[in-house]
């Protein structure tokens, strides 16, 4: 499949937005981990804003950044939300409540616990009635989300935004499912090139062979390995570098997703020629 990247959002430790993070991911500036801050979204009405949890704030922050960059109407754009485990803090609170006498649960806490809660808040914030998918695939959740978004963009011939996010669990859940840090990223994908295209991305589902590349910075590599949504870092680093790059994303035990990334200028020049050669064959 072939899609084009039109917008990027990013929020992670020491990665406060795409513009600030590009020099770090490109290797032109040192990586300095720092606390993750995802403030309540100004897109939500005050009542809804007060109810948001960390997963929602993170997803809305990176989604808004990607759409602002793309200059695309979020209300008309399909979305795919991917997370390995959703909101761990809310799950912890629910389990604590159920373990106490009475066990009365807050309706707000319950609706924040469901896996598609960020998607629900997004549709409110963006006033969107476009299709939305929420999925999980353990450590391969970003890869699964990217594959789903690319399939939708290709088959439906429409723009699709991927929003991937993960947050840490409190103890004792963290001992069973450790997540290194909160991390979120978003990509706005289109089926064809546009004036705002940043890069072209070719995807192929294949038998596992090369494996995902490690980040050159040891701290970024620890983040990539420790947080499922941060498995996106090699792709984001490729985008930040502005150079053509071939890489892979780990997917299922016997499968990986091969990626070929071309920056916008080169993609515009090379793409039509390759398409013509493929058609001739």
Looking at mean pLDDT, say which of 47-51, 178-182, 271-275 comes out highest.
Answer: 178-182
Residue corresponding to tokens 């995807």: 203
Residue 278 has pLDDT above 80, yes or no: no
Residue 126 has pLDDT above 70, yes or no: yes
- Residue 216's pLDDT is 95
The predicted model gives 233-237 an average pLDDT of: 98
Residue 275 has pLDDT above 90, yes or no: no
- Residue 281's pLDDT is 37
The predicted model gives 12-25 an average pLDDT of: 97
Q: Which of 82-91, 101-110, 183-192 has the lowest mean pLDDT?
A: 101-110
The predicted model gives 180-188 an average pLDDT of: 97
Domains and CATH numbers, the chain: 2-280 (3.40.47.10)
- Residue 113's pLDDT is 86
Among candidates 45, 30, 36, which has minimal Cα distance to 15? 36
Residue 145 has pLDDT above 50, yes or no: yes
265 vs 178, which has greater pLDDT?
178
- Residue 270's pLDDT is 43
Q: Using 50, 70 and 90 to split pLDDT, how confident is the model at 71?
A: very high
- Residue 43's pLDDT is 85
The predicted model gives 33-56 an average pLDDT of: 87
Residue 277 has pLDDT above 80, yes or no: no
The conformation of residue 68, written as its DSSP 8-state character, comes to: H
Which residues touch 138 (CB under 8 Å, ≥6 apart)? 84, 228
Contact, 49 vs 40, CB < 8 A?
A: yes
Cα separation, 156 vs 145, whole angstroms: 16
């Amino acid at each position: 499949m072939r899609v084009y990247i039109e917008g990027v959002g990013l929020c992670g430790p020491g990665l406060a937005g795409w513009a600030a993070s590009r020099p770090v991911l490109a290797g032109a500036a040192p990586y300095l981990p720092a606390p993750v801050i995802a403030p309540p979204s100004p897109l939500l009405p005050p009542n809804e804003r007060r109810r948001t949890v960390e997963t929602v704030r993170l997803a809305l922050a990176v989604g808004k950044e990607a759409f602002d960059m793309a200059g695309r109407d979020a209300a008309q754009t399909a979305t795919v939300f991917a997370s390995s485990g959703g909101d761990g803090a809310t799950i912890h609170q629910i389990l604590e409540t159920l373990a106490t006498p009475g066990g009365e649960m807050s309706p707000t806490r319950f609706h924040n616990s469901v896996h598609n809660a960020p998607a629900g808040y997004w549709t409110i914030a963006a006033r969107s009635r476009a299709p939305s998918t929420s999925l999980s695939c353990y450590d391969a959740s970003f890869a699964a989300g990217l594959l789903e978004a690319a399939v939708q963009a290709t088959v439906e011939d429409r723009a699709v935004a991927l929003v991937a996010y993960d947050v840490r669990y409190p103890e004792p859940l963290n001992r069973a499912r450790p997540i290194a840090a909160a991390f979120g990223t978003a990509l706005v994908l289109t089926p064809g090139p546009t004036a705002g295209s940043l890069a072209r991305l070719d995807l192929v589902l294949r038998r596992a062979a090369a494996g995902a590349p490690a980040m050159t910075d040891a701290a970024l590599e620890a983040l990539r390995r420790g947080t499922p949504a941060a498995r996106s870092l090699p792709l984001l680093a490729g985008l930040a570098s502005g150079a053509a790059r071939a890489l892979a994303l780990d997917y299922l035990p016997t499968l990986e997703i091969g990626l070929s990334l071309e920056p916008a200028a080169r993609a515009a020049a090379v793409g039509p020629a390759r398409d013509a050669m493929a058609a001739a064959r």
